[in-house]
């Protein structure tokens, strides 16, 4: 896991994010204050993300763009590029609300609130080289989400997914309030 504080080298020294990424054959990509990174581990997370993205677009009215990369494990990384800078707290909240990996976002928020990471390192992606940014229409869904994710990240039954999607739709009021508080 990206924020595993147990990643140490042979001398016991904490490894840098760059060292960990290099070992995985990747590079570290850090967001600017205009970007939000959404880590989508399942097809269901991607579907929920698209629903919430519609709502976000209603509020921000085309003041952002979205591109994607395919991770080393054939999952999606979504990059939202806003025209105006966003505070780190708003970026972390939006990442969570948009359906990013919940464990990742919980750890990101904890690291930020505890002062364990500089703002530039609170949220990062490990990307394979070269980094290729894609539009949604360029995604080959037949090649995505083929490798299993950890059991604790996927629902036991498909009905749970349906319930989650319905719940996400009902929670749009919360998203409206959050987005109106950070402005467009």
**Partners of 82 in beta bridges:** 64
Who wins on pLDDT, 3 or 104?
Answer: 104
User: Percent of the chain at pLDDT above 70?
Assistant: 74
Who wins on pLDDT, 171 or 118?
Answer: 118
Q: By three-state DSSP, how is residue 127 classified?
A: strand
CA gap 180, 146 in Å, rounded: 37
* Average pLDDT for 151-172: 53
Q: What pLDDT sits at residue 72?
A: 84
Q: Indicate if the pLDDT at residue 122 is higher than 90.
A: no
Structure tokens given for 134:
């894609």
Q: What's the pLDDT band for 2 if we cut at 50, 70, 90?
A: very low
Q: Which residues in the chain belong to E strands, given as ranges?
A: 26-29, 35-40, 64-70, 76-82, 125-128
Q: Indicate if the pLDDT at residue 167 is higher than 80.
A: no
- Residue 84 contacts residue 184 (beta carbons within 8 Å): yes
**Mean pLDDT, the chain, as a whole number?**
80
Q: What pLDDT sits at residue 155?
A: 46
Q: Indicate if the pLDDT at residue 156 is higher than 50.
A: no
Q: What pLDDT sits at residue 81?
A: 95
Who wins on pLDDT, 176 or 75?
Answer: 75
Structure tokens given for 94:
């939006």
Who wins on pLDDT, 113 or 64?
Answer: 64
Q: Indicate if the pLDDT at residue 128 is higher than 70.
A: yes
Q: What pLDDT sits at residue 68?
A: 96
């Amino acid at each position: 896991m990206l924020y595993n504080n147990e990643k140490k080298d042979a001398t016991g020294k904490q490894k840098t994010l760059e060292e960990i990424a290099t070992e995985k054959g990747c590079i570290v990509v850090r967001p600017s204050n205009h970007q939000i990174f959404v880590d989508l581990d399942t097809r269901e997370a991607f579907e929920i993300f698209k629903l919430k993205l519609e709502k976000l677009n209603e509020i921000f009215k085309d003041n952002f763009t979205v591109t994607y990369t395919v991770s080393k494990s054939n999952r999606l990384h979504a990059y939202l590029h806003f025209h105006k800078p966003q505070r780190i707290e708003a970026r972390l909240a939006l990442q969570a609300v948009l359906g990013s990996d919940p464990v990742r976002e919980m750890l990101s928020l904890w690291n930020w609130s505890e002062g364990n990471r500089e703002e530039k390192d609170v949220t990062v992606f490990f990307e394979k080289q070269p980094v290729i940014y894609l539009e949604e229409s360029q995604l080959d869904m037949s090649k995505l989400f083929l490798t299993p994710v950890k059991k604790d990240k996927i629902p036991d039954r498909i009905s749970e997914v349906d319930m989650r999607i319905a719940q996400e739709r009902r929670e749009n009021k919360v998203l409206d309030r959050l987005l109106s508080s950070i402005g467009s």
